[in-house]
Structure 1
């Protein structure tokens, strides 16, 4: 059985269509947006799917990190089919960015096949940036996702972890780019950091 995480979805009739496709669901009916950034990573180790009542809410949830959003009006069979298609497209347990491979099941990362000796927070930071595929991530988002703080504590803790992560990544095509005053992004580049 392949796992799928259902955030904010309460559909008792979905169990049968999922089981028929070899899927088992773990339902989280608490705040779906908060659950997307649980444990310092943007989502758990399996795809996160959220149910929404409107297209506007669906768009916001996708922007917040959901892998997919289903509407309340969608049938259970359609939801099960979309979940199955989503899981087939995602490399379960593996995130790749350039020559960096991140194994989310073992919580390990490697560069060009060689292990990266990352501390837990460095691992979470690398995974968070890699899952966003080069998008700029502002300080507030990093503070909330990795330290569960909804405010800027006025320290340079992010800059320190970014510096350590850069040192461990070393030379190569993958680097962490700083956009002063805006945030950080993972990039395939040789541009000065």
Structure 2
């Protein structure tokens, strides 16, 4: 997921950015309402974490302007625990509301919940052969074996699985997984693919992750290889 944090308090913004990045999410940050609105209007985010008290433009104004043309899921943050404040935030178009201080795990769970509600028809679980991927729990297993993946390795596997049987180029992978336009000569994708393959495919197991020379990579179960493995 690609997330936007609009928060002017450096400690809170850093804490959230670091924690969400460690979970494998791509995170952008704005420390004022004007820049936050510009980013929210000009980019596609899966969700936004929005503080109410912001310089330049407060969170309620930002929320109301955003909702004129965007339906991106939003969680509002505030230090005020008054019912009227929460009602104003929800009335302005927020999808959820958290009062500071809050648990990072609760924020993470609520982010996942509002994204699921916004994309009700998107599968949260994917199965390819004996590979099972839970996109919400961020857990992958192969048969009875759990794959011990890093956050980026899981994001790479999820990107390939969401487009199973489609060839993904290095450019698409770097933009999807790292949200960065890498120099085409870099080997970061090859290194990540090699590490993922070493965990995904043990000796004797059917190959699922394939290299298509000159084009990219594809995750799929090929009948001829499944037959050879059996």
Q: TM-score, normalised by structure 2?
A: 0.44
What pairs up with 1:11-90 in 2 under 5 angstroms? 30-31=41-42, 34-35=44-45, 87=120, 90=122
> For the residues of structure 1 that align with 2:157 and 2:205, how far apart are their CA atoms?
15
> For the residues of structure 1 that align with 2:139 and 2:207, how far apart are their CA atoms?
17
Gaps of 5+ in 1: 1-28, 39-50, 52-83
Secondary structure of 1:35 counterpart: coil
Secondary structure of 1:172 counterpart: coil
Give the structure 1 partner of residue 131 of structure 2. 100
Matched, 1:176 2:186: no
Counterpart pick for 1:112 among 143, 160, 165: 143
Give the structure 2 partner of residue 138 of structure 1. 169
Counterpart pick for 2:153 among 110, 118, 122: 122
**How big is the shift at 1:147?**
1.2
**How big is the shift at 1:31?**
4.4
Q: TM-score, normalised by structure 1?
A: 0.51
Q: Which has the larger radius of gyration?
A: 2
- C-alpha change, 1:98 and 1:30, in structure 2 (3 Å) is farther
* Larger relative contact order (Cα-Cα within 8 Å, sequence gap ≥ 6): 1
Give the structure 2 partner of residue 157 of structure 1. 188
> For the residues of structure 1 that align with 2:179 and 2:210, how far apart are their CA atoms?
23
Deviates more, 1:151-160 or 1:108-117: 151-160
Secondary structure of 2:220 counterpart: strand
Gaps of 5+ in 2: 1-39, 49-68, 70-116
Count residues with an aligned counterpart.
118
> For the residues of structure 2 that align with 1:135 and 1:94, how far apart are their CA atoms?
18
Secondary structure of 1:136 counterpart: coil
Listed one character per residue, the Cα deviations across residues 139-176 of structure 1 (whole Å, up to 9, x for unaligned) are 11111111111243522111111111111112433421
**How big is the shift at 1:123?**
0.6
Runs of 4+ in 1 over 6 A off after TM superposition: none
